[in-house]
Structure formats: C-alpha cells, structure tokens
Amino acid sequence: MAISEGEIKEALKAVKYPGFSRDIVSFGLVKGIQIDGGAITVQLALATNEPAIPQAIKTEAEQILRAMPGVENARVLIDIHAPPAGAGAAGVGTTRIEGIRHVIAIASGKGGVGKSTVAANLAVALEKTGARVGLCDCDIYGPSISLMFGTRDRPTATEENRIIPIEQYNLKLMSMGFLLEDSAPAILRGPMVTRYTQQFLRQVEWGELDYLVLDLPPGTGDIQLTIVQTVALAGAIIVTTPQEVALIDARKASTMFEKVNVPVLGLIENMSYFESPSDGKRYDIFGSGGGAREAKRLRVPLLGQIPIDIATRESGDRGMPITAEDVNSPVAAEFMKIAQGLRETLP
C-alpha cells in the first residue's frame, strides 16, 4: 500500500524541536513532501543560527521515516535562514527583552482558574531553584500581584525615566496594582492598555534575569496579542481546571499561541481536587482527569496538578505565596517539581 503524505506528517510529529515540547509539524517547519514509490523526500524550513539544531532534527526525522513500513529511502532537506533579530525558536519576528534569557507566559482561556496564584507561586519556586526571576502582572484591568506579594510600595524611576521594579522575596515585580489605589479601577481604552503593557515589559529596569514570568489576563484579547506579536517568548503555560467549561477555553488559548509559533510548554491543572483535612478523603469537586486528557490531546506535558488548599488561599491573601511561606507543604512541593522541570526544559 502506498504511503500517504498524511502518514508521513503524523510520523514526523514524533520529532520535537530541540529544547521544546512541540514537534516540527505543529511549528510549521514542514514545507513539502515528495513521494516516489518507497523513496521519500521531506523539505523543512528553519530559522536559526545554531548549526546543531537542524542536524539534530535531520538525523531524528530520517531515522523515523526510514522505520516506516514501505519506506526504502528517506531524505530530509533543510532550508536554513537567519532568524530576525531576537526571534524565538521558530523564527517569529519578535524581539527579546534586554537582559532576560527566558520569558514565560502564564495564560488561561477564562478567568477564575487561579492563574495569578499559579504565576506567583511558580515565580517564587523558580527563584528557590537558584534562578534570577521577575514577575510582570500583565492583567492591567484586574491586577492582583501586589496583593499576593503583600506590598503597597510605589515604583520609582531612574534618571533615564526607566521604571525600577518592586522587589519582594528576591523577585522583581511590576504590576498596575502598584500604581493604583486599592479601590481605583483601571479605566483604559485599548491603545492605552497596549501602551502600558509595552512600558511594563520594555521600560522596566529588569536587569539580568534567567526568567521573566508574565501573568496574562484571561482570554485572547489586546494584551495577549500585543505580547505574542512583539516579545520573543520561550513558551507559554496554560492553566486550567479539570472541568470541561475551563478546558474549552484552554484550547482557545493554546490555539492562539500555536498560530503565532509560540510553544506551549505544558498545562497546569489547578483546583484538581480537595483533600479533607479531617479524614484525608479526596473530593474531585471540578471532576477528574480533565487536565491529563487535554494535555494528551494538545500533545503537551501535564506539568502538575495543584489541589484546592485552604493554606494556599490564606497565604495569598496575606501577601505571602505558599511557596515562600511553607516550602514543605504539598502544594509548594508540587510547584517546586514544576519549576525544576522548567529549568530542565529552559536551562
């Protein structure tokens, strides 16, 4: 039976872009497939300055293709281009933020899934692994990082008119919450929101950081589009709960990143379950297994499962993330596991 183009693409999905969880097909690197009986030629296009990357992809892809039934010979040809200045892994025309090695977006398709709690605790956990970390609250309309880190300090500026971020728990922080009174709403139209977002990213004196964690607002609106079109992201993490209504919106967020060639590093399932402190019995309040099923469908890792935890909620309300207050708690241990995994993926 003749080999089809669809079968070849399906096989090539096993080839991951080096250092990322996404495959070369979803990255859009496959530009052509020629089938001549048992001989296959695959044309790839790649934007990189690192010679080891195309060689690794070529070697693995040819091995996989040659192992397919009916394939007698397989060649992978790669057209290599120089990426735009500061472009990300797939050659997206975005620019890096000076001094920052990896920018990680924490996103969700809908509100109420605990994305800011995840972003805050993950940032603290990354710092505890020895990394230099910043956290930027990109939710201009509903900022919460200032509350979660327990500070009312106001940012100051340098003589060059660059914003000096707030420092707390060895993290560098920026949020609209530092600029507003507690009861003051951010009443802004789209262009002003875009301007503030760019200022928080480009005009803050972040210094040298290993990771800048971006706490995005829910959905796929102006702020998200501004960031994915202008900032070279190392990847995005999607936060969801196990219930289907949250998973539907998580798919939309994942699709947005996929369309702009930003790798999805994985899913974090928040509010996975509740364990009763009185008898240890587990309750799946929002259902069970939804995050694992969605991660499998999206072909990305399930990075962790965070339970509903009273201490985690109380510590956030007190302005001290659980990973800073009680590193030995089960929730903090889960965040540390996620942070260690990210450090291996994005060293």
DSSP-derived 3-state class of residue 188:
coil
Query: Residue 294 contacts by C-beta under 8 Å, 6 or more apart in sequence?
Result: 240, 247, 250, 251, 267
| 5-81 and 100-345, same CATH topology | no
Tell me which residue of 54, 92, 130, 140 sits closest to 236, measured CA to CA: 92
Which pLDDT score, from 0 to 100, does residue 40 have? 93
The three-point CA angle 139-143-149 to 5° equals 125
What CATH number belongs to 100-345? 3.40.50.300
Which pLDDT score, from 0 to 100, does residue 86 have? 42
Residues of the chain with pLDDT under 70: 1, 19-22, 27, 49, 82-94, 181-191, 220
User: Which whole-number Å values give the CA distances from 48 to 52, 80, 109, 206, in the listed order?
Assistant: 10, 7, 31, 26
* 53-105 per-position pLDDT tens digit: 889 999 999 999 999 998 999 999 998 876 544 444 444 446 788 899 999 99
Which burial class, exposed, middle or buried, applies to 289 when counting CB atoms under 10 A from its CB (0-12, 13-18, 19+)?
exposed
Query: Residue 278 contacts by C-beta under 8 Å, 6 or more apart in sequence?
Result: none
Which pLDDT score, from 0 to 100, does residue 84 have? 47
Are the beta carbons of 218 and 111 closer than 8 angstroms? yes
* 95-152 per-position pLDDT tens digit: 788 899 999 999 987 778 989 999 999 999 999 999 999 999 988 877 889 889 998 8
The three-point CA angle 72-78-84 to 5° equals 160
Which pLDDT score, from 0 to 100, does residue 22 have? 64
The three-point CA angle 154-95-128 to 5° equals 55
Tell me which residue of 94, 102, 87 sits closest to 49, measured CA to CA: 87
Are the beta carbons of 18 and 344 closer than 8 angstroms? no
Are the beta carbons of 65 and 11 closer than 8 angstroms? yes
Tell me which DSSP letter residue 87 carries: -
Which pLDDT score, from 0 to 100, does residue 89 have? 46
Which pLDDT score, from 0 to 100, does residue 19 have? 62
User: Which whole-number Å values give the CA distances from 270 to 3, 111, 240, 253, 284, in the listed order?
Assistant: 42, 12, 6, 16, 12
Are the beta carbons of 249 and 141 closer than 8 angstroms? no
Are the beta carbons of 135 and 171 closer than 8 angstroms? yes
Which pLDDT score, from 0 to 100, does residue 90 have? 43
Query: What architecture (CATH level 2) is domain 5-81?
Result: 2-Layer Sandwich (3.30)
Residue 290 amino acid letter: G
Domain ranges within the chain, ordered by starting residue: 5-81, 100-345
Which pLDDT score, from 0 to 100, does residue 94 have? 64
